[in-house]
Amino acid sequence: MTRKTILSCFCLCAIFLSACSPTETSNSGGNAAPDKSGQIETTSEAPPADVVRMEVPATEIKSGGTAEATVKLTVASGYHINANPPSFSYLKATELTVEPGEGVTAGKPTYPSSVTRTFAFSKEPLAVYEGETAIKLPLTAAAGAKKGAQTLKGKLRIQACDEEKCFPPRTMDAPIPVTVK
- Is residue 92 one of the residues assigned to a domain? yes
Cα 135 from Cα 112, distance rounded (Å): 6
Quote the Cα angle for 31-161-128, to 5°. Answer: 130
* Total of domains in the chain: 1
The answer to whether position 160 is within a domain reads yes
> Could you tell me if 167 and 46 are in contact, meaning their C-beta atoms sit under 8 angstroms apart?
yes
Global confidence as pTM? 0.74
CATH number, residue 138: 2.60.40.1250
Q: What angle do CA 112, 114, 120 make, to 5 degrees?
A: 150
d(CA 92, CA 60): 32
Chain segment 116-158, per-residue pLDDT in tens: 998 888 888 999 999 999 999 999 999 999 899 999 999 999 9
Residue 133 lies in a domain: yes
Kindly report, residue by residue over 67-109, the tens digit of the pLDDT. Answer: 999 999 999 999 999 999 999 888 899 999 999 999 999 999 9
Structural domain that includes position 55: 51-174
The answer to the question of residue 32 being in a domain is: no
34 in any annotated domain: no
Task: Determine, yes or no, domain membership for 35.
Answer: no
